[in-house]
């Protein structure tokens, strides 16, 4: 039977793959191109995390990630007419993937014995890096570089996860509360237009 973390990982893979394929379909990609975008967003963050943690990336030992992406592509093919016209579809699936991948990254880092700051960074990379690659592939400015709360939601959720683990809560509770924190922060930030302040610079004075 798959563990709770594996279930989260699989659901996150499916959600992120749909978010990528949905955007690719809106950009008129063909099926193969859409599959590539979906697969890259689904495994991108986890691959970077595993390479940094000196662990073999999961998709290289388990075909479930390829299968999940294929199912996501099939889902978009069958229901694409409805998904493309629903403006919230991308946002919801992307937020679900962001939340689930963040807790998977934090949990894996803690299990490997890394300190909490590394775990939070790895959780943020797992959650946000795939979206950056997706946006680059479809020629969009990555969400992480815009004013929206995105990677910061991963930091908040990762910190909540670590704190729950620190006070001795059960792992599945840590994962649930941490993931819910990421999702809620992301939803509230968009709903109420909450964003981080911009770093204002001073323009050079033009010579008189």
The per-residue pLDDT for 182 is 96
**Would you list the domain boundaries of the chain?**
4-191
* DSSP code of residue 120: H
Cβ burial, residue 34 (10 Å; 0-12/13-18/19+): buried
The per-residue pLDDT for 176 is 94
Beta bridge partners of 195: 148
The per-residue pLDDT for 19 is 85
* DSSP code of residue 148: B
Low-confidence ranges of the chain (pLDDT < 70): 1-2, 83-87, 147, 201-208
The per-residue pLDDT for 88 is 72
pLDDT per residue over 6-29, tens digit each? 888 888 899 889 888 988 888 889
Contacts of 9 (CB under 8 A, 6+ apart): 46, 58, 100, 101, 104
pLDDT per residue over 57-91, tens digit each? 989 999 999 999 999 999 988 887 776 566 677 78
The per-residue pLDDT for 65 is 93
What counts of helices (H) and strands (E) characterise the chain?
Answer: 7, 0
| DSSP, residue by residue, 154-199 | HHHHHHHHHHHHHTT--HHHHHHHHHHHHHHHHHHHHHTT-BPPP-
Quote the CA–CA distance of 203 and 20 in Å, as a whole number. 38
Mean of all residue pLDDT scores within the chain: 88
CA atoms within 13 A on the CB side of 8: 27
The per-residue pLDDT for 146 is 72
**167, 161 in Cβ contact below 8 A?**
no
The per-residue pLDDT for 84 is 59
């Amino acid at each position: 039977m798959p563990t709770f973390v594996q279930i989260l990982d699989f659901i996150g893979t499916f959600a992120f793959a749909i978010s990528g394929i949905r955007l690719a379909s809106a950009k008129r990609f063909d099926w193969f191109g859409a599959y590539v975008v979906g697969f890259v967003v689904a495994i991108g963050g986890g691959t970077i995390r595993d390479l940094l943690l000196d662990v073999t990336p999961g998709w290289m030992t388990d075909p479930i990630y390829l299968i999940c992406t294929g199912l996501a592509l099939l889902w978009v093919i069958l229901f694409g007419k409805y998904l493309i016209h629903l403006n919230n579809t991308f946002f919801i699936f992307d937020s679900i993937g962001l939340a689930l991948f963040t807790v998977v990254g934090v949990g894996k880092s803690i299990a490997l014995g890394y300190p909490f700051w590394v775990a939070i960074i790895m959780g943020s990379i797992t959650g946000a890096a795939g979206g950056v690659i997706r946006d680059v592939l479809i020629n969009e400015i990555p969400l992480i570089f815009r004013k929206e709360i995105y990677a910061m939601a991963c930091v908040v959720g990762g910190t909540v996860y670590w704190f729950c683990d620190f006070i001795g809560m059960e792992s599945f509770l840590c994962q649930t509360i941490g993931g819910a924190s990421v999702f809620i922060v992301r939803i509230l930030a968009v709903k109420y237009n909450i964003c981080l302040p911009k770093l204002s610079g001073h323009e050079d004075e033009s010579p008189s």
